[in-house]
């Protein structure tokens, strides 16, 4: 089966909709949270556990797979799904995020959230410590594993992603720092648009030679400059992409502002993916309300490994002493394996003992919590109770400090 997207229901007065993405490896009911599997694995989870948390699809990272085990190995195995023995649709990002994380942001404490910077991204400059440097052709990398010098371009990114064989892939782009100057954002956006066209040309050439159709999404950039977001959306919509990614949204409060400009300019019959955001319920509700169909984030498993677990009353730190002799489940209404079988006291013990099982049980719960929440949001769109459900859930979740 080739790629197809079908809108099933629209929520009046909003950009929210439910639908289905059809891919060669299965269908995705949207809106959907795409589970993060950076290195062809969801950390601490087996394939059965991935399915048990009701994940519909997985997103892996092109840069990391390029280094280990190598795109050629995955291609020889029959593609990402077969290599993982995971019978579900897969996504791969383009490697563009590494332009940011291994470049200007490297060892400066700068990430996508401006509040968590240790340095000032507006003053970041190329330095000898950086592992990635950008030019108009592409990105020069030094492998974080062995220091080997590598280059990624729009053409090579497409070649790598086609070898990896994910159902949905992304055009190569440049992600800017949250506080970059307007001039630097403009330069990066022009580069992203040129790379988008080159990515599309190479993708179409490769797609014409293979059996399974891979869908390519163009990525809307522009940081916090709304006129540049508009320019980017219009340009990418003029090209023959199968869908769109929206990159570089830094704070939840920016979601309505940016998506309200971007999404109406994109073909409504093509899916929209919000890249790297979806670790908080507020993110999910806002993204869906303003027209996002899929999103990904590695935070649920990362936070679980550090003892931060989601509950309907907010996030808790399971390592806190008050859980040492609490024999209740984490959430009595949750149907995940962890909540159905183990107490808060046992989880507290596992984390303090630094047992591997702690990461597994915590990740099962966090992934189930987020995926199930998105499933419930989808149901609320279809039965026209979205705003009632949103208010009820968020009021409870953010009712107290956890």
> Residue 202 to residues 136, 193, 209, 212: CA-CA distances in angstroms?
17, 14, 11, 16
Q: Reply yes or no on whether the pLDDT at 126 is more than 70.
A: no
> Tell me, what's the pLDDT at 131?
66
Closest CA to 339 of 316, 369, 297, 375: 369
For the chain, the average pLDDT equals 91
CB 45 within 8 Å of CB 360: yes
- Segment among 109-123, 131-145, 247-261 with least mean pLDDT: 109-123
**Structure tokens belonging to residue 342:** 């183990």
pLDDT band at residue 141 under the 50/70/90 scheme: confident
In this prediction, residues 326-344 reach a mean pLDDT of 97
Residue with tokens 């909540």: 339
- Segment among 88-97, 112-121, 137-146, 147-156 with least mean pLDDT: 112-121
Residue with tokens 């949905």: 168
Residue with tokens 């001039």: 183
> Tell me, what's the pLDDT at 45?
98
User: CA 242, 245, 246: angle at the middle one, nearest 5?
Assistant: 150
In this prediction, residues 345-362 reach a mean pLDDT of 98
Prediction pTM value: 0.92
pLDDT band at residue 99 under the 50/70/90 scheme: low
Catalytic site residues? 93, 296
- Segment among 66-75, 109-118, 220-229, 327-336 with least mean pLDDT: 109-118
Closest CA to 18 of 30, 28, 2, 1: 30
Residue-wise pLDDT for 8-38, tens only, equals 999 999 999 999 999 999 999 999 999 999 9
| Domain positions in the chain | 4-297, 308-397
> Tell me, what's the pLDDT at 307?
98
> Tell me, what's the pLDDT at 113?
44
Cα separation, 343 vs 333, whole angstroms: 13
Domain over 4-297 is classified CATH 3.20.20.105: yes
Cα separation, 16 vs 270, whole angstroms: 13
Collapsing DSSP to helix, strand or coil, 72 comes out as helix
Name the E strands within 37-138: 58-61, 90-93, 132-134
**Structure tokens belonging to residue 180:** 């970059």
Q: Reply yes or no on whether the pLDDT at 287 is more than 90.
A: yes
pLDDT band at residue 110 under the 50/70/90 scheme: very low
């Amino acid at each position: 089966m080739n790629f197809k997207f079908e809108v099933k229901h629209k929520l009046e007065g909003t950009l929210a909709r439910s639908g289905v993405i059809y891919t060669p490896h299965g269908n995705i009911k949207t809106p959907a949270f795409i589970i993060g599997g950076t290195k062809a694995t969801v950390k601490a989870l087996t394939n059965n556990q991935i399915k048990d948390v009701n994940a519909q699809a997985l997103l892996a990272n092109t840069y990391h797979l390029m280094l280990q085990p190598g795109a050629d190995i995955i291609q020889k195995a029959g593609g990402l799904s077969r290599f993982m023995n995971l019978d579900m649709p897969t996504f791969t990002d383009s490697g563009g995020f590494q332009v940011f994380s291994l470049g200007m942001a490297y060892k400066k404490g700068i990430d996508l959230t401006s509040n968590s910077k240790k340095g000032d991204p507006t003053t970041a400059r190329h330095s000898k410590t950086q592992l990635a440097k950008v030019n108009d052709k592409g990105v020069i990398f030094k492998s974080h594993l062995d220091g080997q010098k590598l280059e990624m371009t729009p053409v090579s990114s497409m070649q790598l992603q086609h070898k990896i064989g994910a159902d949905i892939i992304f055009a190569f782009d440049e992600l800017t720092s949250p506080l970059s100057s307007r001039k630097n954002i403009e330069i990066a956006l022009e580069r992203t648009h040129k790379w988008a066209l080159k990515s599309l040309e190479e993708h179409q050439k490769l797609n014409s030679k293979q059996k399974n159709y891979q869908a390519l999404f163009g990525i809307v950039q522009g940081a916090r400059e709304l006129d540049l977001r508009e320019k980017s959306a219009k340009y990418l919509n003029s090209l023959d992409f199968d869908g769109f990614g929206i990159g570089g949204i830094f704070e939840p409060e920016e979601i309505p502002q940016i998506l309200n400009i971007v999404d109406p300019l994109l073909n409504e019959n093509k899916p929209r993916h919000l890249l790297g955001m979806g670790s908080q319920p507020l993110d999910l509700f806002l993204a869906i309300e303003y027209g996002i169909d899929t999103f990904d984030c590695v935070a649920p498993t990362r936070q679980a490994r550090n003892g931060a677990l989601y509950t309907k009353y907010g996030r808790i730190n399971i390592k806190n002493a008050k859980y040492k002799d609490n024999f209740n489940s984490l959430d009595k209404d949750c149907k995940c394996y962890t909540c159905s079988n183990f107490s808060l006291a046992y989880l507290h013990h596992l984390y303090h003992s630094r047992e591997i099982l702690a990461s597994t049980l915590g990740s099962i719960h966090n992934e189930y919590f987020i995926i199930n929440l998105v499933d419930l949001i989808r149901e609320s769109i279809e039965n026209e109770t979205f705003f009632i459900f949103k208010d009820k859930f968020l009021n409870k979740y953010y009712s107290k400090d956890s």
